[in-house]
Amino acid sequence: MSRVFRCFRTPVQKVAAGFAGWLLLSPLLLAAATLETSATHFQMLADEQRFDGVVEAVFRSTITAQTSGEIIELPYDVNDYVPKGAIIVRFDDTRQKAGLDKAIASEAQARAQLVEAESAYQRNRRLIKDNAVSKSQLEKSEANLKSARAQLELAQAELKEAREQWEYTVVRAPYAGVLIERSVEIGERAQVGTPLGTGLSLEKLRVQVPVPAHYVQRIRASAQARVRVPDSDQWLESTDITIFPYADPASHTFTVRVQLPDGQHGMYPGMLVKTAFVVGRERTLLIPASAVVHRSEVTGVYVVAEDGRVHFRQLRIGREAPGGFRVVLAGLEEGEQVALDPVAAGIALKRQDTQPPS
């Protein structure tokens, strides 16, 4: 006959077993309690819609010759960066310099004739009081004075024109930028109006974005946009927005032009950039971006429960929010505590799973 033995725990034994389990679990609970956490919370944020836009230069111009002559210097080639005021084309100035010297001499001669005419007129004014000269001689000297003044003005105008023609033999960059096309070569003879080259500025850029028609009124009302710098998490804010007053008949979209802040931000004309427009406000659930974990194709956070136990929770994460937060689309409720250090939370979870049951 077989005997069946049953083991019964006395109340003292149960207390001892529970105490032993608590001793085993307490380091885990202590580790979980030391995790830095943050509570999820709702906040009103700007509702944004994002579209692709193309960067373009505000300043793009083709420089033409303002004088004629042979080209003797081209310091910059295509794709070179050109500082503002740098010489980009130099003409042979022999003819213009000769014209300038002639104009300078003519102006000096006219000035001397004016001085002589002024002296003769003043002398005749004094002599007519003593009847030493006739009235007709005074009038003639006055006419000569007026003629000398007119000759000086003409000479000064010719001198100004000659100086401009001489200055046109040196063509300078009107702004800092990149030379994207050079239309002449050294040794060529250019005439007035001949294209010399085309450049664009990298300091003043804008983005053109095609936007569906039903967003136009909301974009016009908010007048707020931001452009993402390629290959970075940086966004450039802008309130300088221009909406074209007509739609594209093929795509039925409106073109919105967003002016970027002055300076070089790692963007170049022709690049495709992501542009976000504020179209309203929405109530969103936020968590710190540092709490988000990516495990292969799974995105989630470590949630610390009220009893101190750590759980990994899969989430649907939305866009970035100001202040280092991320929008939660699904997977969390308001007030839940998430671990700010995913590495420490993962270690605590692993220890928790390896603990024997009490």
Residues 190 and 300 in one domain: no
Does residue 19 fall inside a structural domain? no
User: Is there a contact between 91 and 190 (Cβ–Cβ < 8 Å)?
Assistant: yes
Residues 70 and 198 in one domain: yes
Does residue 149 fall inside a structural domain? yes
Residue that the structure tokens 């503002």 belong to: 84
| 237 vs 162: CA distance, rounded Å | 48
Measured between alpha carbons, how far is residue 344 from residues 32, 289, 304, 305 in Å? Answer: 9, 16, 12, 15
Residue that the structure tokens 């308001």 belong to: 334
Residues 193 and 163 in one domain: no
> Mean pLDDT lowest for which of 13-27, 30-44, 125-139, 255-269?
13-27
User: Is there a contact between 175 and 84 (Cβ–Cβ < 8 Å)?
Assistant: yes
Between 185 and 341, the higher pLDDT residue:
185
Residues 116 and 84 in one domain: no
Name the strand (E) or helix (H) holding 137. Answer: helix 135-167
Domain count for the chain: 4
What pLDDT, on a 0 to 100 scale, did the predictor assign at position 190? 93
3-state secondary structure of 238: strand
Q: Select from 144, 168, 192 the last residue of a domain.
A: 168
Question: DSSP labels for 139-192?
Answer: HHHHHHHHHHHHHHHHHHHHHHHHHHHHHTTEEE-SSSEEEEEE---TT-EE-T
Mean pLDDT of the chain: 84
| 121 vs 143: CA distance, rounded Å | 9
The CATH number covering residue 240 comes to 2.40.30.170
Residues 129 and 160 in one domain: yes
The CATH number covering residue 302 comes to 2.40.420.20
Does residue 295 fall inside a structural domain? yes
Q: Select from 202, 225, 256 the last residue of a domain.
A: 202
Question: Which residue type does 255 have?
Answer: T
Q: Please, what is the angle between helix 135-167 and helix 94-128, to 10°?
A: 160
The CATH number covering residue 144 comes to 1.10.287.470
Domain housing 115: 93-168
Measured between alpha carbons, how far is residue 147 from residues 72, 104, 153, 154, 158 in Å? Answer: 42, 19, 10, 11, 16
The CATH number covering residue 75 comes to 2.40.50.100
Instruction: Tell me the average pLDDT across 128-143.
Output: 84
Q: Select from 281, 308, 332 the last residue of a domain.
A: 281
Does residue 141 fall inside a structural domain? yes
What are 16's two structure tokens?
């001892």
What pLDDT, on a 0 to 100 scale, did the predictor assign at position 355? 63
Does residue 231 fall inside a structural domain? yes
Residues 63 and 197 in one domain: yes
Residues 319 and 339 in one domain: yes
Residues 294 and 328 in one domain: yes
Residues 237 and 341 in one domain: no
Residues 65 and 198 in one domain: yes
> Mean pLDDT lowest for which of 32-46, 92-106, 291-305, 339-353?
32-46
Residues 288 and 335 in one domain: yes
Residues 298 and 175 in one domain: no
Does residue 15 fall inside a structural domain? no
| 209 vs 256: CA distance, rounded Å | 5
What pLDDT, on a 0 to 100 scale, did the predictor assign at position 314? 86
Does residue 22 fall inside a structural domain? no
pLDDT in tens, 19-39: 344 444 445 454 455 778 878
What pLDDT, on a 0 to 100 scale, did the predictor assign at position 82? 93
Does residue 107 fall inside a structural domain? yes
